[in-house]
Amino acid sequence: MPAFDPERVAELVRQAAAEFVLPRFRRLEKGDVREKLRGELVTVADLDVETFLSEKLRTLWPGSVVVGEESSEDVPEGLEELRGEKPVWIIDPVDGTANFAAGNDCFAIMIALAERRSLRAAWIYAPVQDVMLHAEAGQGSWRNGKRLCQLQSAASNQDLCGTLHFGTYGNPELVRRFERNRRNLRTLKSLRCSGHEYLRLVSGESSFSLFTRTKPWDHAPGVLIYRELGGQARHLPEGQDYDVGSCEPGPLLLAPDAASWKAVKNRLLAT
């Protein structure tokens, strides 16, 4: 790891929220929001946060590069950096943009630091709630400066209750199977924000989550934080560990322990 204070990254994230996000929350003007892809929004807050953090984070670790959600939409080959040798900052400037634009407070700023395809550090900040999750590889996970306890296993498979996130993304055959088998699981309503879903996972409010959309900025931060608490983050159907540099890894399933992960997998893939 480089010789920088992880708290400095947290400070930069809080500064970005204070300067570019919170002043615009429920105050966006018509020209501040546009559709970047069909059904996907971007706001001036997304763009300003990514620009600000990209500049500051590169300075913290000279020679590092940035893979940001918004810049990667314009230059998708930038994702190749995740498979390279340089340290990579992965930035989701406003996760849950649709919520933010609609005045819903379920949105977050997320950052992960990766090196040679290994996750090194992560930050998730929910500005309205003022909750900061942070983790470093091998050092545990923290919430607002307090170390989090390891995840508790479900007392039984019947206690498993979580979220399913699938639709137009992913392998159509698997998605059809998930849709058919969702009745086999107890589920919570989606918050439409990966950052807040990871908040629910680390708190134990949600005991599993399935995502067919696996963009690195949506999951790299949360996966490291979750893993440091003993959580499982693996891809279906084979069960390979999350790999930040993988191009088409398959749906991502998270659960607090190996037994719970297998139980949810079996229910989702039942024939």
Return the domain boundaries, the chain.
6-147, 157-268
Q: Which long-range contacts (CB under 8 A, 24 or more apart) does 21-30 make?
A: 21/45, 21/49, 21/94, 21/100, 21/107, 21/109, 21/127, 22/127, 22/128, 25/100, 25/103, 25/105, 25/127, 25/128, 26/103, 28/101
Classify domain 6-147 by CATH number.
3.30.540.10
pLDDT for residue 77: 66
Calculate the average pLDDT of the chain: 93
Token pair for residue 234?
């693996």
pLDDT for residue 155: 62
* Mean per-residue pLDDT, 248-266: 94
* Mean per-residue pLDDT, 24-45: 93
Would you put residue 33 in left (φ > 0), alpha (ψ -120 to 50) or beta? Answer: beta
Overall CATH class of domain 157-268: alpha beta
Confidence of residue 159 (pLDDT cuts 50, 70, 90): confident
> Tokens 């406003």 sit at which residue?
94
Q: Give yes or no for residue 161 having a pLDDT over 80.
A: yes
Residue type, 220: A
pLDDT for residue 180: 95
Task: Give this prediction's pTM.
Answer: 0.95
pLDDT for residue 4: 65
Cβ proximity of 256 and 231 under 8 Å: yes
pLDDT for residue 134: 98
Q: Give yes or no for residue 219 having a pLDDT over 60.
A: yes
pLDDT over 90 percentage in the chain: 85
Q: Give yes or no for residue 93 having a pLDDT over 90.
A: yes
